[in-house]
A and B are shown apart, each in its own frame.
Chain A
Amino acid sequence: MSAQGFLLLAAALFATGLYGALSQQSIVMLMMGLELMINGVLVAAGASWYYFAPARADGQVLVLVAITVMALEMAMGFAVTIAVFRARDVDMTEGASELGG
């Protein structure tokens, strides 16, 4: 257990989530990838607090912010997904391309 171990875990979670966010067609599965990426950020922030600067609470505050942002992202993501689905029966990323150039 070391700072390197935690950062490796964070990198693995972030990369796995990035793969999902890039490759999944379903909008809700794409959001799962985003959540996994934020999971990696949580690990990195918590480990940075403990191993690099435990005297100040900055790392802990960052974890708190990331958790909150994750919950907000999920709420807004599902709201938009359901609104788009209700408007035109689209639940795939390819279908929601109105803003595409």
Chain B
Amino acid sequence: MIAGIAFWALAALAVAGGVAVFVVDSMARATFALLVSFLAVGLTFLLIDLQYLGVLVILMMIMEMCVMAVFMIMFMMNPGGLMPMTMVHNPRGAALIAAVVFVSLAAGALAVPPPPRRGAPPADPARALGLSIMGDKMLVMMIIGVAILATMIASVVLAVHGGRYAAGRSRSR
């Protein structure tokens, strides 16, 4: 019962944070609104035995949003949110598409009878996850490792002078 109340409160907070991202007047505030949304989602994970992943989401998103806030402030044309900020194109069409997607996803979630639960949660889900990624899911982790390496190389390539989008090369067009 308490878990149910906590879940719906956290769900409302997560969605409110998500909506606030596109409503507030400052990109820095939008970043922290997104952080609120992620924190609420991380806390809902604690309700369904996912302690490790919940804490992982919380810690990782705090760091990620702090880094993101720096970039957001760099790109912010409206420091401090002193003026109303609306930078949208075709908001009505986007809202319509989003509403259609929400209604169809929600209809699917509510109308389709959920499949029966197979098995019970293990005593320590984090241990099951660890054994899984070091066992039969190791290929997934190996591919992710390659993807992380590719991201590091690609971001360095983009960052160095004379790279793909270096100044001068593209201005000649």
Complex Cα spacing A19 to B38, Å: 18
Q: What is the distance, in angstroms, from A27's C-beta to the closest C-beta of chain B?
A: 8
5 closest Cβ pairs, A-B complex: A55-B119, A15-B102, A7-B109, A11-B105, A23-B94
Q: A53-B119, A61-B129 are in contact. List 11 more A-B contacts (CB 8 A).
A: A5-B8, A8-B109, A15-B98, A18-B97, A19-B95, A55-B118, A60-B129, A63-B53, A64-B133, A72-B147, A87-B171
Contact B18 A17 (CB under 8 A): yes
Given contacts A25-B88, A67-B57, A76-B155, contact A16 B163 (CB under 8 A): no
Contact A8 B106 (CB under 8 A): yes
Q: Mark B30-64, 1 if CB is under 8 A from A, else 0.
A: 11001001100100110111100100110010001
Place the interface of chain A in its size category.
35 or more
Chain B contact residues, majority secondary structure: helix
Please name the residue on chain B nearest to A77 by beta carbon. Answer: B71
Residues of A near any B CB (own CB < 8 A): 1, 3-20, 22-29, 32-33, 35-36, 39, 42-43, 46-47, 49-58, 60-61, 63-65, 67-72, 74-76, 78-88, 91-94
